[in-house]
Amino acid sequence: MALMRPGVVAFEEQDEQHHDSLLFRYQLATRVSKGEPIPAHLALTWIKNSQEYTLRTPARRCAEQFATLFKLQYADQFGDGMIVKSNKTRLTLHYYPASASLRGFSLEQPGLPDPSVLKAPVKKMIAIADTSTELLSAYSRYLGKKGASADDIEAMLLLPDALLSVQTHPVLKRFKSWVDEQLAGPSKGLVRLADLWRQIGLEPPERFNKKEMELITTLEAKAGFGVAPDPRYHHAKPAVDGDIVLFPEGHGPNFEPSQAFNETSMTLRLGAMVAAVDSHVDSAELNTLQILIDHDTHLSPIEKRSLHAYLHWRLNTPANMTGLKERVGALGDAEKDVVRHILVRVAFADGKVTPDEIKQLEKLYTALGFDKTQVTADVHKFTSSKGAPASATPTSKTTTQKPGFALNDELLALHASETESVQSLLGTIFVDDTPEEQHVIAEGEPIAADTGGLDQAHNSLFEQLITKERWDRKDVLAACESLKLMLDGSIETINDWAYEQVDAPVIDDDEDIYIDLEIANELKAG
């Protein structure tokens, strides 16, 4: 009726009704005959009606998302639309009523071509449809699981970024609002990790391992913010009952930390351990560490934002030595001297050194491979050169001389010279934490840690597993069978042993088997 009596029954081309091939072919023919581009919605209808293509499961299960994604990619490739030249085949519309008692009819349109029979344009649209389908495959598989919902945070994280940029997910919208509140609040982005989980509708996990961190890093990328610590860049991870720091914009998809970033993050870690030892961070101590970030010309704006967030987290998180012994143990004497000088200057940033700071310096000196008795000598040397007294006892009555520690100029000059002279050396302590192949422990390498809690079979399995980060479950099952072990029991046994050694699990069982290589190296180093 819309074709025969257009003045009586109007049809809006934008209306995506059921796949009425007669109307579609008429609209397509009309546009082509006028030399007009084929808009995205009409191209989508074309691919749906084409005999050359069948929509796959993701496109059918996620019809709305597929349509949006197809249109976006079509517009990216063809702008206002593909131009199709008129062909010689004339348009004839055949109508067959559903009722057998009614006769069908044919309606010839001699003035219109029939571009729906062309294959070349369809091939181009098939490529777009296939790409859209692939982008939705993970999302579709999730929705296919029993009990899964499109409102789940897990589902949202599987949506292509292109969709989230045009269709804000309700969970993501609420979460972004909460993040903005935290960034603008007095905590400056410092939040409890458990609160973050609850904001996305999940119960806080009992353990915080690789898969949990991957969820958060995926979430930050979708929401447009960053977190510290981010294990990919800060070489640390938050405790399950601890805090995390949010910061605006995040690292971005192509972030690669520079050597200056790695050097500074290491220095911040050591400095924060000294500054926060008495559970109070003096403003001068904070300024000391912030200067290292703000005035380093080798750091990009993204790196500076990330390091400020990392420092905020370090200063509000109980200090620990996890991973530190191995990293600083790789330093040479010159690099250790550099870090030692920075530690003393951080300790003196508030004009005095407390007994607790002396003890912490002794602990750090030991970790760095120095004799801890050098702390006293270094402190004395520094105070003598600056004329600033050290308050090493609670009863000291000496007046603090803030000007005696001209940090803003001196530390900047020191840090700049250190960066130039040992940048290639300090950065080496971070190499083992980035590419998987560089973080691997060679198969069969002796384990330096005390494996008295593991029998020979479990120790052999442990040595094999720590040679890479991710294992197919079937491969681990085969390894267990060769050692006459049960998979679940072996994971529990090795993790129990790891808890005894370093208070953390080394194996994460999540369909595939994940090995925490940082913990593995801690166990290996003993």
Is it the case that residue 198 has pLDDT exceeding 80? yes
First to last CA, the chain: 83
In a domain, 227, yes or no: yes
- How large is the average pLDDT for residues 40-48? 92
Last residue of a domain, one of 227, 248, 269: 248
Residue, of 271 and 331, whose pLDDT is higher = 271
Instruction: Using DSSP, state whether 512 is helix, strand or coil.
Output: strand
Is it the case that residue 417 has pLDDT exceeding 60? no
**Integer CA distances (angstroms), 471 to 511, 515, 523, in order:** 10, 8, 19
Looking at residue 204, its pLDDT comes to: 85
Closest of 319, 315, 382, 395 to residue 351, by C-alpha: 382
- How large is the average pLDDT for residues 482-488? 88
Residue, of 22 and 124, whose pLDDT is higher = 124
Is it the case that residue 98 has pLDDT exceeding 70? no
| Res. 173 pLDDT band, cuts 50 70 90 | confident
Looking at residue 392, its pLDDT comes to: 43
Last residue of a domain, one of 143, 162, 197: 143
Specify whether 197 is located in the same domain as 306: no
| Res. 430 pLDDT band, cuts 50 70 90 | very low
- How large is the average pLDDT for residues 187-210? 87
* Choice among 37-46, 88-97, 159-168, 361-370 with the minimum mean pLDDT: 88-97
Give the strand order in the sheet containing 507-510.
470-471, 512-515, 507-510
In a domain, 498, yes or no: yes
Q: What is the pLDDT of residues 506-521, one digit of tens each?
A: 887 767 788 888 778 8
Looking at residue 126, its pLDDT comes to: 95
Is it the case that residue 429 has pLDDT exceeding 60? no
Instruction: Using DSSP, state whether 28 is helix, strand or coil.
Output: helix
Residue, of 90 and 41, whose pLDDT is higher = 41
Measured CA to CA, the distance from residue 182 to residue 31 in angstroms comes to: 52
Q: What is the pLDDT of residues 438-459, one digit of tens each?
A: 333 333 343 333 445 688 899 9
Average pLDDT in the chain: 77
Q: What is the pLDDT of residues 215-234, one digit of tens each?
A: 888 888 888 899 999 988 88
Specify whether 429 is located in the same domain as 442: no
Last residue of a domain, one of 392, 409, 433: 433
Is it the case that residue 247 has pLDDT exceeding 60? yes
In a domain, 110, yes or no: yes
Specify whether 26 is located in the same domain as 86: yes
In a domain, 157, yes or no: no
Residue 302 is encoded by which pair of tokens? Answer: 């993204």
Is it the case that residue 387 has pLDDT exceeding 70? no
Is it the case that residue 157 has pLDDT exceeding 60? yes
Specify whether 486 is located in the same domain as 450: yes
**Integer CA distances (angstroms), 60 to 132, 153, 163, 165, 208, in order:** 12, 22, 17, 22, 36
Instruction: Using DSSP, state whether 190 is helix, strand or coil.
Output: strand
**CA geometry: angle at 112 spanning 109 and 113, to 5°?**
120
Is it the case that residue 409 has pLDDT exceeding 80? no
| Res. 396 pLDDT band, cuts 50 70 90 | very low
Residue, of 360 and 136, whose pLDDT is higher = 136
Measured CA to CA, the distance from residue 420 to residue 413 in angstroms comes to: 11
Specify whether 388 is located in the same domain as 298: yes
When divided into structural domains, the chain yields a total of: 4
Looking at residue 42, its pLDDT comes to: 92
Residue, of 9 and 124, whose pLDDT is higher = 124
Specify whether 363 is located in the same domain as 427: yes
| Range ranked top by mean pLDDT from 57-61, 78-82, 283-287 | 78-82
Residue 407 is encoded by which pair of tokens? Answer: 């940090």
| Res. 202 pLDDT band, cuts 50 70 90 | confident
Is it the case that residue 60 has pLDDT exceeding 90? no
In a domain, 14, yes or no: no
Closest of 260, 358, 329, 345 to residue 300, by C-alpha: 260
Specify whether 419 is located in the same domain as 459: no
Specify whether 32 is located in the same domain as 95: yes
Looking at residue 404, its pLDDT comes to: 32
| Range ranked top by mean pLDDT from 103-107, 268-272, 298-302, 368-372 | 298-302
Closest of 459, 438, 437 to residue 450, by C-alpha: 459
Looking at residue 475, its pLDDT comes to: 92
Measured CA to CA, the distance from residue 506 to residue 447 in angstroms comes to: 14
Looking at residue 460, its pLDDT comes to: 92
Specify whether 419 is located in the same domain as 313: yes
Residue, of 167 and 448, whose pLDDT is higher = 167
Measured CA to CA, the distance from residue 74 to residue 165 in angstroms comes to: 16
504: β partners: none
- How large is the average pLDDT for residues 53-74? 91
Output phi, psi for 514, to 5 deg: -110, 140
| Res. 368 pLDDT band, cuts 50 70 90 | low
Residue, of 455 and 247, whose pLDDT is higher = 247
Specify whether 359 is located in the same domain as 398: yes
Look at the chain and count its residues.
526
In a domain, 155, yes or no: no
Looking at residue 463, its pLDDT comes to: 92
Specify whether 293 is located in the same domain as 365: yes
Looking at residue 67, its pLDDT comes to: 95
Residue, of 253 and 278, whose pLDDT is higher = 253
| Res. 203 pLDDT band, cuts 50 70 90 | confident
Looking at residue 117, its pLDDT comes to: 82
| Range ranked top by mean pLDDT from 155-164, 204-213, 435-444 | 155-164
Structural domain for 452, as ranges: 436-525
| Range ranked top by mean pLDDT from 250-259, 372-381, 435-444 | 250-259
Specify whether 429 is located in the same domain as 498: no
In a domain, 161, yes or no: no
* Choice among 116-125, 128-137, 291-300, 389-398 with the minimum mean pLDDT: 389-398
Looking at residue 403, its pLDDT comes to: 34
Q: What is the pLDDT of residues 308-344, one digit of tens each?
A: 999 999 999 887 665 566 666 666 777 777 777 777 8
> Which stretches of 160-236 are DSSP H helices?
161-164, 170-184, 193-199, 210-223, 231-234
In a domain, 241, yes or no: yes
What's the CATH code of the domain at 179?
A: 3.30.1370
Instruction: Using DSSP, state whether 443 is helix, strand or coil.
Output: coil
Looking at residue 449, its pLDDT comes to: 39
The DSSP code sequence of 96-146 is --SSTTS--EEEEEEEEE-GGG-SHHHHHHHHHHHHHHHHTHHHHHHHTST
Measured CA to CA, the distance from residue 113 to residue 111 in angstroms comes to: 7
- How large is the average pLDDT for residues 477-485? 90
